[in-house]
Amino acid sequence: MIDPRGLDRLDISLGQIRRIIRDFELEMERGLSGQKSSLKMIPTYVSRPTGKEIGKFIALDLGGTHFRVLELTLKGAGRALEPKIMKFALAKKHITGSAEMFFGFIADCVKVFLKKYKLESADELDLGFTFSFPVKQAGLAGGSLVCWTKDFNVRGVIGNDVVELLRAALAKKDIRNVKIAALANDTVGTLVAKSYRDRNCDVGVIIGTGTNACYPEARLGGMIINVEWGDFDKLKLTAYDRKLDKKSDNPGRQIMEKAVSGMYLGRIASLVVKDLLGLKPKLKTEDMSAIEGDHSAGLAKTASALKKVGIAKCTSEERRQVKNICETVSGRGARISAACIAAIIKRMDTNLSRRHTVAIDGSVYEKHPTFAKNMKSCLKEIFGSKSNRIKITLAKDGSGRGAAIIAAVAASR
């Protein structure tokens, strides 16, 4: 029989949500003023675009399980043509090998892209490089990697300028007409992509393999700050979180990411299922989506999802409980994300007197059946009827499109 207390520990009351908001606001302030904080609050040297930028730009979007190269033509007045996109899978050997091999692979992909779209001998192309890891930027087109996250572990990159590494790799493959104009985090790309059309957009969020957010900081004249919220560590943890953290590649780091993002939700749910039901599935976050979206009477999709992850036989009661566990784990992630968004909005606009658009990209937000809905209902609990001033919207491929727009802003300077 399920131990109800086990699941209760993963529930987050409105009181706890308010505490998270307060702690997050304090950590943001500490991070900005150079005090010790789990929030890095990195200045990005990017401001929101005007919507008037025009021209043809290339972008690289790197930071999850897939790597994308795209070309975007901006028409001004907030309009752009549908981008040309190529997607490449990143194998384990690429993300855990040497810097030379990693950047060499990326340069090869750029070459394939240029060939496919007949851009090999085009005039100089400005490129926006989305690199979705904590980077200490020295300016718009350069910055050194602080640490890897999301199980990436390429040797020889930490402390080095990732733009220089990419530039050298492109030169080595004889790609001469591509100029790296800007470096950006994926959250910044997402915010910029949406605000090209929507002037109210002032928060960019990723909830995918990893999770993070950015916003324009008034104290810095509206420069966008990469919060690196995945490292936020003022959350009440359960025994499951501690176990997952201990077994991870980066114990003690990315505590919030481990409670929210796609890389980890399945691992937590698996630990809870093992503890409460004695079953040992190896759930991925996609499996949770299938299970939580299962509305059939006998939970047939849940049965086949469980079969896929090593549980060949289970009772209908067990399936019901597994579904309940998945809902609790993903629901907690959604509520934590909503609380942190609320803290960022409060920092910009204490009384919620303006409209705000929150642009979100990432597989969990896009594909999970209830994550987005749970975030919205949590914002309603926090702000009451004023929550209708907050529009949360999907910014599909925002990180790549945004990098192209950032390159455009840089090129126009």
Please give the positions annotated as active site: 150, 186
Nearer to ligand GLC, 73 or 248 (CB): 248
Kindly identify the residues of this chain, within the stretch 123-182, that bind ligand GLC according to CB under 6 A.
132-134, 149-150
**d(C-alpha 17, C-alpha 36), whole Å:** 23
Nearer to ligand GLC, 150 or 323 (CB): 150
Sole residue written with tokens 């992509």:
193
Residue nearest to ligand GLC (CB): 210
Residue 61 contacts by C-beta under 8 Å, 6 or more apart in sequence? 67, 68, 69, 70, 130, 186, 189, 397, 399, 400, 403
Question: CB-based burial of residue 301 (10 Å sphere; 0-12 exposed, 13-18 middle, 19+ buried)?
Answer: middle
**Residues 198-217 interacting with ligand GLC (rule: CB under 6 A):** 206, 208, 210-212
Is residue 270 within the footprint of ligand GLC (CB under 6 A)? Answer: no
Query: Looking at the DSSP assignment, which residues form a beta bridge with residue 76?
Result: 79
- Counting DSSP H helices and E strands in the chain, the numbers are 15, 14
Q: How far is the CB of 212 from ligand GLC (least distance, A)?
A: 3
Residue (28 or 206) nearer to ligand GLC, CB: 206
- Strand 54-62 and strand 125-131: the pairing is parallel
Please select the residue that binds ligand GLC; options are 23, 126, 186, 287, rule is CB under 6 A.
186
Compute the Cα dihedral for 87, 88, 92, 97 and give only its sign. Answer: negative
Does position 62 interact with ligand GLC (CB under 6 A)? The reply is no
* Tokens at 384, concatenated: 């009451």
Distance CA 64, CA 206 (A): 11
Residue 47 or 65: the one with the smaller Cβ distance to ligand GLC is: 65
How many chain residues are in contact with ligand GLC, going by CB under 6 A?
17
Query: Binding marks (x or -) toward ligand GLC, 227..256, rule CB under 6 A?
Result: -x-x--------------------------
Q: How many CB atoms sit inside 10 A of residue 176's CB?
A: 11
Q: Is residue 400 at the binding interface for ligand GLC, with CB under 6 A as the rule?
A: no
Q: Per CB under 6 A, does 187 bind ligand GLC? A: yes
Residue ranges that bind ligand GLC, judged by CB under 6 A: 63, 132-134, 149-150, 185-187, 206, 208, 210-212, 228, 230, 257
